[in-house]
Amino acid sequence: MKKPIYALLLLAAATAIQAAPYIPASGAQVIETLPRRGDPVQQELRRMRSELNARPNDLTLATTLATRYITLARSETDPRYLGYAQAALTPWWWLTSPPAPVRLLRATLLQSTHQFEPAMADLKAVLAADPANAQAWLTQATVQTVQGDYAGATASCAHLSTMSIELITITCIANVGTMTGRSLKSEQLLDLTLERSSNAPAGLQVWALTLLAEMAQRRGAADIAEARYKRGQALNPRDSYLLGAYADFLLEQRRAGEVVALLKDQTRIDALLLRRALALQQQGNARKALAEDVKELAARFDAAAQRGDTVHQREQARFELMLRHDPAGALALARKNWAVQKEPADIRIYLESAAQARDAGAAKPVLDWIALHHTEDVAATRLVRQLQTGT
């Protein structure tokens, strides 16, 4: 029987971005609107937290609460829930061999902050003990894809076929295919699978629709991409990964005003604040607001550097290149980021930085990667041509 694996899917499918501490300009400034105490979800969480405080070593209660927090981190665009999830797992967090449910949750949280090596160690241990753990296979496939281990990711995805519903398996496989020269076939297969999966949970549909939108965007099919982004938004207007991807699409289309509206009240996430700043810059008529966003981003990135946090390197490279106009600084960050992850956005910021720095030689690792894996992306192709011709 196929086992559904929905609870942790959203975090496995995309990495959450954590925000640095924020100091308000005055005591009168509203910095957060707290969830309503009457909200049934928050009431249930408070009840569970109270029970866990009384029984901190209750494994079932702790892992249930942590799972709820991880799900909320994405659905509510609030990375603080990831910290709450880790706190729920405190009695086991630093153990070398924690119970399997904790180990899987720990791997999920570690990969969300780009600690891929310890995350993979936990996932391999979980799978060694339980080869039928579908969530572990999916999370492992996600990490392998981000790191560019496409053969490993394909093998991990294949394990899902007997453990989960078709949409999860095909989305996993298509995510690898789009990086290895099989974009159009992967897109067609995933689109067909989604259309016959109308009863799948909304979260799974949003994941598939976002991936499909990005596929269409990378081949230059703007109308198709936008239709898919809007379908995903209709299902979950607060999905942080979808918001970021759609904002990038709108920025490409020079529709900055729509980006500002889209990201209203969503700038707790560094990546979304960055996109709003880029939209303000593109508009050109909101200098004060832009200056405030740039100052806030600089403070967040500086705080991350002081913590030794390297999760933000792709966003920081984009910040340095486009908002601070420092191609050399951006290229240094893009190079460091490339050593950790190799997604389409990583390719693009590396090539953009090298092109603006007029340093085609620095782009060789990415150019070699594109040639080896037959990467298909109209934006990357344009940047490659620019680097080759020096224009």
- 288: enclosing H helix or E strand: helix 287-307
From first to last of the 391 residues of the chain, give the pLDDT tens digit: 344 455 455 556 544 344 444 444 444 444 444 455 557 888 999 999 999 999 999 999 999 999 999 988 877 767 788 899 999 999 999 999 999 999 999 999 999 888 999 999 999 999 999 999 999 999 999 999 999 999 999 999 999 998 889 999 999 999 999 999 999 999 999 999 999 999 999 999 999 999 999 999 999 999 999 999 999 999 999 888 999 999 999 999 999 999 999 998 888 889 999 999 999 999 999 999 999 999 999 999 999 888 877 788 999 999 999 999 999 999 999 999 999 999 999 999 999 999 999 999 999 999 999 999 999 999 999 999 999 987 7
**Residues 59, 15, 53, CA angle at the centre, nearest 5°?**
25
- 382/331 Cα distance (integer angstroms): 18
C-alpha pair distances (Å), 88 with each of 7, 53, 62, 111: 16, 9, 5, 18
Contact in structure between 274 and 238 (CB atoms under 8 Å): no
* CA dist list (Å): 318 to 16, 211, 245, 385: 17, 22, 14, 20
Predicted TM-score (pTM) above 0.95: no
H or E segment at 365? Answer: helix 364-373
278 vs 329: CA distance, rounded Å: 18
- What domains does the chain contain, in order, with CATH numbers? 1-15+42-163 (1.25.40.10), 165-238 (1.25.40), 312-391 (1.25.40)
- Phi, psi values for residue 176, rounded to 5°: -75, -45
As a whole number of angstroms, the distance between CA 121 and CA 100 comes to 12
Cβ–Cβ under 8 Å, residues 341 and 369: no
Taking only Cα atoms into account, the Rg of the chain, rounded to an integer number of angstroms, comes to 21
Assign 237 to helix, strand or coil: coil
Q: What's the CA gap between 307 and 316, in Å, rounded?
A: 15
Q: Comparing C-alpha atoms, which of 33, 22, 34 is closest to residue 292?
A: 22
Listed in sequence order, the residues at least 6 apart from 26 whose beta carbon sits closer than 8 Å to its beta carbon are none
Residue whose C-alpha is closest to residue 242's, from 197, 270, 267, 208: 208
